[in-house]
Every structure is written in C-alpha cells, then in structure tokens.
Amino acid sequence: MASKDVTEQSERRRAFLDVVMQGEWSWALKLLDAGVNVKKRDVRFTVKTCFCLNLWHGVVEVCLRFDRNTIGKRLVRRVLQTAIRNREVDNFVKLWNALRVIYWSDVVQSLIQRAFESRRYKFVQKLCQCDELLCSFEIADVAIQEAANAKKWNFIRSIIDSGAGCISVDQFVQILQTIVNAPTSWKRAVPLLDQAYKDDELYASELLDEAPDSLDGSALAD
C-alpha cells in the first residue's frame, strides 16, 4: 500500500513538471493547490521556467504558495531585480509582500533615488505600498529627502501618514529649507506641518524654532 502511494505521488509530481514545461500554468497551480508533493528543486524549476518565459503571473502565483527559503534567496533576488528592470512594478510589489524580503533595504534605497531622478513617481508610490518596506527609517529618510528634492510634497505626506516617516528635526528643517528656496512653494510647509504633527504641539513648535528665518511665524500665518 505504501509502495502504491509512493508511485501515485511520483506520477503526480511528473504530471506537475510536465504541465510546467508545457506552460499550462492553470493546471500547475491546480495541482499545487491539490497538494501535489513537490520538492524544493521542483519549485525552483517552476519559478525559473516562468521567469525565463517572462510569465510573471506564474512567478507570482508560485511565490505566493512558498516561502523565500524554498524558492532560494539568490533566485528571489534575481526575480525582483528583473521585475524592476522590466518595470513590472505591480508584480514587484506582489512578490515583495509575498516573500517579505526585508533584508534588501540597500537596493531599495538606490531604487528610490533612481526613480526620482527619472521622474518615475508612480513607481515610488508603488514601493511605498510594500508591507514593512518603509518601516525601515533609512528607507523612509531616503524617500522623504528625494521627495523634497523633487518638490513632491504629497509623497512626504503619504510617507508620514503611513507611520514610517518619524523624521528628525534636522531632516524636517532641511525640507523646510528646500521649500523656502523654491519660489512660491514655501506655503506647502503649513499643511505638511499640520498633518504630520497635529497631535504633538511641542514637537511642532520645536520644528518651527529651528526653521529658516525666511519661514517665520508671520509668513506661516498668511
């Protein structure tokens, strides 16, 4: 009886690999959901096959069913890098959230900087939707500063609203200085300040005390 079970499992595994090689992803996913007994190398083979054929739906669906240790960290990194390079932003976010790749902050910082440089602001918005991504203060700092440099104040507000942007006085002063140096843009500081620190009057007053001279109280009152 045990031998029969092993044979059936082997046949199901072979059937799974056959449909993968034929590109029948709906059947492959049905077999996975039915509990086909696949090995680590089968999972990695499946991801690589989808990946090489540029079938992002297959990559995402398989990654949703297994953790990054099963898939392999090197393969995960390669898939994510290619998703970014091919501008598969939605799939990048799905993969990031599924695999919880929280150790990759240095690459994400670089991505944010490059995205702002190339004015791909929607890409940054998508990055900000990644679970736990902006919980890293380093990444939040980069996103906030790049948004300030690009005069994208709504990005700063969205980052702060997400709970990730617990920024320092020094950094906020830098943002205020950037606002002041941009003609007709300094009034943007008012809603930003109100939104971010409406529950902390002491902290808000500390920020204003450190603000540039050209952003004085009378200007804010206008």
| 31 closest CA partner among 51, 48, 17, 47 | 17
Closest CA to 133 of 98, 102, 89: 102
Q: Which stretch of 40-54, 100-114, 126-140 has the lowest confidence by average pLDDT?
A: 126-140
Q: pLDDT tier at 187 (50, 70, 90 boundaries)?
A: low
What is the reported pLDDT for 221? 40
Whole-number Å distance between alpha carbons of 157 and 49: 41
In angstroms, rounded to a whole number, what is the distance separating the alpha carbons of residues 82 and 93? 13
Q: Which two tokens stand for residue 5?
A: 């079970």
What gap in Å lies between CA 16 and CA 25, rounded to an integer? 10
User: What does the angle CA 184 – CA 111 – CA 196 come to, to the nearest 5 degrees?
Assistant: 45
Statement: the pTM of the whole predicted model exceeds 0.75? no
- For residues 64-96, b (16+ Cβ closer than 10 Å) or e, as one string? ebbebebbbeebbeebbebbbeeebbebbbbbb
Nearest partner of 130 among 110, 100, 104, 152, judged by Cα? 100
Q: How far is it, in rounded angstroms, from Cα 57 to Cα 130?
A: 18
Cα(44)–Cα(70) distance, rounded to whole angstroms? Answer: 8
Average predicted confidence (pLDDT) for the chain? 69
- Mind listing the pLDDT tens digit for each residue in 115-151? 777 777 777 767 666 655 555 566 667 777 777 777 7
Dump pLDDT digits (tens) for 201-219. 555 565 555 555 544 444 4
Query: Taking Cα atoms as reference points, which of 128, 133, 193, 186 lies closest to residue 167?
Result: 193
Residue 200 gets which letter from DSSP? -
pLDDT of 52-101, one tens digit each? Answer: 878 888 888 888 888 778 888 788 888 887 887 787 877 887 887 777 66
Reply yes or no on whether the pLDDT at 159 is more than 70: no
Element (H, E) at 102: none
Q: Which residues of 137-149 are buried (b: 16+ CB within 10 A; e: fewer)?
A: eebbbbbbbbbbe
Q: Please, what sign has the CA dihedral across residues 57, 59, 62, 66?
A: negative
Q: What are the residues whose beta carbons fall under 8 Å from the beta carbon of 113, sequence distance 6 or more?
A: 142, 146
